Amino acid sequence: MYALIAIALALALLIGLLHLKVNLGRSMLISSISMAILLGVTPSEFWQTVVHEWHDKPLSQTTGYLFVTLTALVIMVNILGTAMTETGVSQRLVPALHGLFRSRRFALLAIPFMMGMLPTPGGIMLSAPMVRDLGDHIGVQRDRQAAINFLFRHQWETVWPLYPAVLFVQGMFGISAFALISHNMAIMLSGTLGGVIFLLLSGIPPKNKQSRSNGKFTDNVRNFVHVFWPIALVAGLFAALGVPPAIGLLLAIFIFLALHKVSLNRWPQIFKSGLELDFVLLILGALLFKLDLEAGRAVDSVVAVLFEMNVPKYLIIFFLPMLVALLTGVTMATVAITFPFLIPLIGTGPQAKVGLETLAFSGLVCGFLITPVHLCLTLSAGYFKAPLSKIILRLLGPVVFVAGAGFLMAVFCG
């Protein structure tokens, strides 16, 4: 029971620091240090846990490897986003989508959905102006616009290898990328279907005669390809050859800058833009939090307490990530805090029940889609000038779809 109290205190500290506007990375790092102190983890015990990892786990599951690969991934994503902005490529996407998709509903979906494939920090604001421009032209209510932009931008978070949490979960459970993505695809598909039903099938005014056409079809296709070929290259290299996304991104950045004839003098500044210290601290803090739980033997203790309380396994797997996601609004932090507790229930390697992992991730998604502490949600409310409560209410339908998909995957694939 003490371990559960210690975790609750560390989590309360994290929430308090975020409420005080302390940077996310620093808050996570401070919380992980407090966790070690509360659990009585000594430096020698911490080091022994690290050493055991290197001896007993595959390289891809060790803390050092995860820190290097995840940090490199975040930095490379930032650099590519800056390169696209400086060359003006990202600004071409809006008119291209307007011209390519004759369906206004599909265009509203496609803008945040496609921009979500490049998970730049604060990236919700990349698609927001596009959605607001098109939504205002059509006559869609602002709170519905905000919900559309927020929901569809986050559909890739459980399957796309450019999101650090995907690789983190894959390494933690020791499962293949194919197994993880093929199972978690149920979350993405259910969330998208729920969004279409609850956000797009109604509330879209009839088309008027002033609907516009944007440019030639060939020009629109060319602009679309300019934006998405680097992302497609990274995904293809990862899926076909197993090339780590960070390496694929580095290759794509070099080719992108060369094709757009960016002066070599500008390259250092563009690469420097990716060095966001706070996101490095976030990854470090999340990994240290996980190590604290292992070194302090808190995982077994908490799982034992939950079973003594006769909480059904499926409810533990779903609601534990959902609760922490509601409290923090951060995917990486939620994975680091809760998923280690679920390892005994889900398993690792060939014994892993990936359908149960999908249930856990669906709980996480349900939590961060409706929590007011999710930065993207609050940014959307401010930008679209819409009440936060109305946006959340519009998201409840898709959330039910995601939860249903998670439980179905647990029952039939767990």
Helices within 116-141 (DSSP H only) = 124-138
pTM, full prediction: 0.70
**Region label for 213, one of left (φ > 0), alpha (ψ between -120 and 50) or beta (otherwise):** beta
Spell out the domain ranges in the chain.
2-413
Q: Give the ranges where 154-216 is alpha helix by DSSP (H).
A: 164-173, 177-195
Give the CA distances from residue 108 to residues 94, 149, 187, 200, 324, in Å, rounded to whole numbers and listed in that order. Answer: 11, 8, 20, 8, 31
Distance linking the first and last C-alpha atoms of the chain: 28
How far is residue 61's CA from residue 343's CA, in Å, rounded to a whole number?
A: 13
Per-residue CA distances from 301 to 7, 87, 311 (Å): 11, 53, 15
| Helix, strand or coil, per DSSP, at residue 187 | helix
Contact by Cβ (8 Å): 376, 157: no
Instruction: Give the per-residue pLDDT at 401.
Output: 97
| Separation CA 366–CA 363 (nearest Å) | 5
pLDDT of 326 reads 80
Instruction: Give the C-alpha separation, 337 to 330, whole Å.
Output: 11
**pLDDT in 10s for each residue of the chain, 414 residues:** 787 788 788 878 877 887 787 876 788 788 888 888 988 888 888 888 888 878 877 676 677 887 887 788 778 877 887 887 788 776 676 667 667 777 788 888 988 898 788 776 555 766 776 788 778 878 899 999 999 999 999 999 999 887 888 988 998 899 988 899 999 999 999 999 999 999 999 888 887 654 555 567 787 788 778 777 887 787 777 767 777 778 888 898 999 999 888 888 888 888 887 777 777 887 788 778 778 877 887 766 766 776 777 778 899 999 889 888 886 677 887 888 889 889 988 999 889 999 999 999 999 999 989 887 676 777 777 778 888 789 999 999 999 999 999 999 999 986
Greatest CA separation for the chain: 73
CB 320 within 8 A of CB 4: no
- What is the reported pLDDT for 86? 81
pLDDT of residue 114: 81
**248 contacts: CB under 8 Å, gap ≥ 6:** 233, 234, 237, 238
pLDDT of residue 81: 75
The confidence score (pLDDT) of residue 209 equals 52
Ramachandran area for residue 41 (φ above 0: left; ψ -120 to 50: alpha; else beta): beta
For residues 360 and 337, give the distance between their C-alpha atoms in angstroms, rounded to a whole number: 12
| Contact between residue 11 and residue 324 where contact means Cβ atoms under 8 Å apart | yes
Q: Do 410 and 356 meet the contact criterion of CB atoms below 8 Å apart?
A: yes
What's the DSSP call for residue 176? -
Whole-number Å distance between alpha carbons of 69 and 327: 27
Closest to 99 (Cα-Cα) out of 209, 5, 181, 217 = 217
Radius of gyration of the chain (CA): 22
